Amino acid sequence: MLYRVLEEIEQAHGPLLISDLGRKLDIDPGVLMGIIEFWVHKGHLCDDDAVLEQGLACVPNGCGDNCSGASGCAFTVKLPKTYSIKKLEIN
More confident residue, 11 or 86: 11
Q: How many domains is the chain partitioned into structurally?
A: 1
Please give the pLDDT value at position 46.
84
In this prediction, residue 24 has a pLDDT band, given cuts at 50, 70 and 90, of very high
Residue 90 lies in a domain: no
Rounded to a whole number of angstroms, the distance between the first and last alpha carbons of the chain is 32
Among 28, 20, 18, 24, which Cα is nearest to 4's? 24
Instruction: Check pLDDT > 80 for residue 59.
Output: no
Residue 88 lies in a domain: no
Q: What's the Cα-to-Cα distance from 24 to each of 6, 9, 16, 48, 77, rounded to whole Å?
A: 13, 12, 11, 23, 29
Residue 22 lies in a domain: yes
Taking the model in full, what pTM does it have? 0.63
Instruction: Check pLDDT > 90 for residue 35.
Output: yes
Residue 89 lies in a domain: no
Instruction: Check pLDDT > 90 for residue 56.
Output: no
Which range of residues forms the domain containing residue 13? 2-83
